[in-house]
Amino acid sequence: MARQRGNREAGGPMTGAPVTSPRVPAPPALAVREVGKKFGGVEAVRDVSLTVAPGQVLGVIGPNGSGKTTLINLLTGVYRADRGSIQVAGRETSRLRASRVAGLGVARTFQNPHVFATLTVRQNLMMALRHSVRAGRQAGRSEAGDIDRWLGLTGLADKADHVASELSGGQRKLVEFARAMARRPLLVLMDEPFAGVYPAVKRVLHDQIRQLAASGETAFLIVSHEIPDLIDLSDQFICMAAGAVLKAGDPAEVCRDEAVIDAYLGASHPVLRNGAA
């Protein structure tokens, strides 16, 4: 199995194989510096800087239209930044096509899951490995094993041979998540993973994100309006407003911030009323 993972060893903590400690500290999974993107006169993203360490979870909150999805589109190479720098594990990606960014270990899930409706669940996951092969990696036996593992972890094993169009919206979210994770990404960008899913699906996503992050295997940037879930998962938060980072820091600290309450949460938000922050 050949994985292009910087100084991460193939078969790392997830498989229990010994991991050689690197002599130099690992670069951040994601380092964004002063990134900006305009659409005509609209500055959808302006002057955004952030860092996500390997295995960290960054929660991104902010009102509708504040630039959260555009930020994900910039980080995945769907849009090209007008200015600024984006580095994934120390490599500049701001000028790379989306397929090249994906090949460097960046995976993504969408607010409305993108699955191949006419393919089975298993075939959907296999598409992830094809992508890896296109990026110059070999789909080895252990990667095929990853598909079975992810089918099991997401509770989709008994749906493996069903076509995706037969699944519920929440199950499609799980397929998309499993497909992203089967590639063993360095960084996963998730747009509203918990919106409109049943509690049971939410629990699966939540538990898997937490375990993967804790293992140090994968870093996450998660956009969500489900603040209690996001506080629970995240090491740090940013709140965006009008394309910029309004406040960054510890999740509870960000949620208590006056400017964040004014711009987004509102004084009557349940998180504040319940004292969770």
**Distance from C-alpha of 136 to C-alpha of 74, rounded to nearest angstrom:** 23
Q: How far is the CB of 227 from ligand ADP (least distance, A)?
A: 15
Pairing of strands 187-191, 219-223: parallel
Give the binding site for ligand ADP (CB under 6 A): 39, 42, 44, 62, 64-70
Assess 69 for contact with Mg ion (CB under 5 A): yes
**Distance from C-alpha of 92 to C-alpha of 90, rounded to nearest angstrom:** 7
CB atoms inside a 10 Å sphere around CB 66: 24
Q: How far is the CB of 184 from ligand ADP (least distance, A)?
A: 27
Q: Look at the chain and count its residues.
A: 277
Structure tokens at 275: 């004292």
Binding-site size for Mg ion (CB under 5 A) equals: 2
Residues in a beta bridge with 187 = 106, 219
Interaction partner, residue 185 (Mg ion, ligand ADP, none; CB < 5-8 Å by kind)? none
Interaction partner, residue 93 (ligand ADP, Mg ion, none; CB < 5-8 Å by kind)? none
Assess 109 for contact with Mg ion (CB under 5 A): no
**Which is nearer to ligand ADP, 62 or 216 (by Cβ)?**
62
Assess 234 for contact with Mg ion (CB under 5 A): no
Amino acid letter, 172: R
Q: How far is the CB of 187 from ligand ADP (least distance, A)?
A: 19
In the three-class reduction of DSSP (H, G, I as helix; E, B as strand; rest coil), residue 62 is classed as coil
Q: How far is the CB of 147 from ligand ADP (least distance, A)?
A: 31
